[in-house]
Amino acid sequence: MRLSGVAAFVLLMLLLLYAVHRWRNPRCSGRLPPGSMGLPLVGETLQFFSPEASLDVPRFVRHRLERYGPIFKTSLVGHPVVVSADEELNYMVFQQEGQLFQSWYPDSFVEILGRDNVGEQQGAMFKYLKNMVLRYFGPESLRESSMLRDVEHAVSSSLCTWSTLPAVELKEAVSTMVFDLSANKLLGLEPSRSKILRKSFFDFVRGLISFPLYLPGTAYYSCMKGQKNMQTIMLDLLRERLSTSTKKHSDLLDLIVEELQSEKTTIDERFAIDTLVALLFISFVTMAPTLTLAFKFLSYNPKVLKDLKEEHEEIIRSRENPNSRFTWEEYKSLRFTTLVVNELTRMSNVTPGIFRKTLTDVQVNGYTIPAGWMVMMSPMSIHLNPNFFDDPLDFNPWRWLHVDIHSNCLSRWKEIKGGEVSRKAVIMFPQGYQIQLIPRA
């Protein structure tokens, strides 16, 4: 018995060592990119999600780029991944969409946003979604609809309200403003009705970037509860709208209801709900941290703020009626503002990467990326690369002057406390960011 027990133990250890060896050395018909697969199953997920008090390229990516070069392999949330800061590979991925690559997100992320969300759609369905969104949010809609007016009203109203307060917790206030505006344009909800949905959505987002451990008390558990609440609210809204479909609200939900009730519809209720959740998520999770960062950058760059104010004040001076609404022509004339937006976008990098999945073995730069592997393109590794941008961590809108870019009022403010920036894949403000807005004289 003793010998058989020892033999069983040795056999078990050999099997474990073999499993670890296979994990660290995945099968490949060619030469894999350099890198480490980390621990079995966990991979390097914990290192990837480690928070950092910086807007720079995260250490996880930066150190591996220094060690392995612009293409390296790793494993995240149980999937083999190739991370790319290589222009040639990134260009290939976008050019070969649908042939060599398709959109992909981690299973936990897809489970949260819904199996029928925008990011999961391929081929004809993706084109349909893209056309529908552009129809409502594209340049023609901005020019001809009430979109500009509604955005201006939301921002002006928020600034006026904030200026009456001794301090504003900026990330929370901006998040509320962006969410309420998005809920109105997507679902036709006024702020009073979007409040409950907003609460569920905030619970959902707070736990989104977390390890997928579904146990009470964990961030992921709270996230999934928020997701279920959102699904229920969205379903009620959709069915309410379907029952009164002759009444129009001039929002995206109108277009979805029209498609659901058409004779040759290609979507169902689940698809509609997942799509609305995903679009609400995308508009909120990208805009709120970016706008919060705008206040921070402008606070420490008075010359940028001065030139920005001068451009906006010149528009007001040129109006016949200084109190008239912001127009499409004025929007198109904002040359310096466009430079500021481009620089803000370059530095904020609100998502850790852009994910795709290989449909077949892909050859690039002498490496093979096996079929079924994930590719994570890292835009920030290029946006913050000193080889492409001088002093990449300096907020300098004038760096965009050599680029051909085409594309009302400002309060003063002072910082109260907080404002430290951290990354845990996405941008966070762990100590909050309080400011006081001061109305213009």
Residue spans per domain, the chain: 2-438
pLDDT on residue 133: 73
pLDDT on residue 315: 93
CA torsion sign for 239, 245, 250, 255 is positive
What would the CATH number be for the domain defined by 2-438? 1.10.630.10
Residues with Cβ within 8 Å of residue 144, at least 6 apart in sequence: none
Cβ(424)–Cβ(349) under 8 Å? no
pLDDT on residue 350: 80
Residue positions counted in the chain: 441
pLDDT on residue 406: 39
pLDDT on residue 422: 66
pTM of the entire structure? 0.78
pLDDT on residue 404: 47
Q: Which stretches of the chain drop beneath a pLDDT of 70? A: 1-3, 6, 9-10, 18-21, 105-129, 145, 206-212, 403-410, 412-413, 422-430, 438-441
CA distance to 107, 113, 347, 427, per residue, from 350 (Å): 20, 18, 9, 6
